[in-house]
Amino acid sequence: MKARNRVVEKPGEQQQRSVFCVLPNGFPAMAEHLSQSELDYPFKLLEYFNGFRVSKVIFSACELGVFDLLLHSQKPLSAAEVSQELGTSEDGMERLLDVLVGIEILEVELTKGTAYYSSTDVANLYLAKSSPKSLHDMIIYQSQTIYPLWNNMVDAVREGKNQNEKTFGLSSEDIFSAIYRSEEQMLKFMGLMNSTWIIDGHDIVTAFDLTCFKSIVDVGGCSGALARELAKAYPASTVTVLDLPKVVQTAQKHFSQSDDTIHFHEGDFFEEDLPAADLYVLARIIHDWKEEKCLTLAEENSCSLPARRGCSASGGSAV
């Protein structure tokens, strides 16, 4: 039997309807409140349909270097000036800049009939590559890797596997063989992870008080960005990044900082014993493998944890 929809209008509330999906047993599966205007014209649906266009506008502007140029120009620039500096067509650039104004990422002012563009504070902070809080590396990875993969989402659902082979001609068996297939690709992925933790790393590591853990290992810690946030928040603790040898070497070569207090440990956490620690952090890695491997990793973490006294979590903790 199929579920059926029921629309209920409450007396005196003509501008809002409650839409229920009712299961065969008569119980509502979910309820969503929609305004009458939304039912008359699908504003939200159209916004969702066209969301990819907004993403691609931002991706393209980042790849072309628009935000860095505007940040360093010290003055608003015309479309002709931007296109000349970046080697693009003037018409194409003007269209791109106007869309960025429309979504409130850039600002525009008219002077003697000519439009001059400048960045908003948000664009300068998060979209310019030179900003300490830049999401540029995240955006490049989304544009050049994630976006093409999502073009094959229908096949992913049908087949139940990732689409690296169809998208990039790479084996779909080992996802990290694709991600780390070259130093260039590895740097893109590590840049993505670095950007991620620059934004929300501090909030994550301070969501719980981890002061009692004197030795912390970030399992699969990649560039060390989250480990650095841990080290800043808990300076009395020793923080170590555990990852594959080639990842550790790349992290130390490209992402190390002069004031680093974190340590790196080369190893394969599926093949080798974990280095001793009071706390193991598993952040944004569990989703990379099937459940059996995740359970194996969780068991290994539990077995490696020492008993701790004076800490709210008896016997250590795994996050």
- The amino acid present at 189, given as its one-letter code, is F
The rounded percent of the chain whose pLDDT value lies above 90 is: 62
Q: Using an 8 Å Cβ cutoff, are 59 and 147 in contact?
A: yes
Q: What mean pLDDT is reported for the chain?
A: 85
The pLDDT-based confidence of 1 (bands split at 50, 70, 90) is very low
Residue among 309, 289, 261, 310 nearest 300 (CA) = 289
Residue 265 known to be catalytic: no
- Please indicate, yes or no, whether the overall pTM of this predicted structure exceeds 0.85: no
Q: What is the DSSP letter of 276?
A: P
3-class secondary-structure state, position 268: coil
- pLDDT per residue over 209-249, tens digit each? 999 999 999 999 999 999 999 999 999 999 999 999 999 99
Q: Residue 146 carries which DSSP code?
A: I
Q: Which pair of structure tokens corresponds to residue 272? A: 């080798």
Catalytic residue among 202, 254, 265, 287: 287
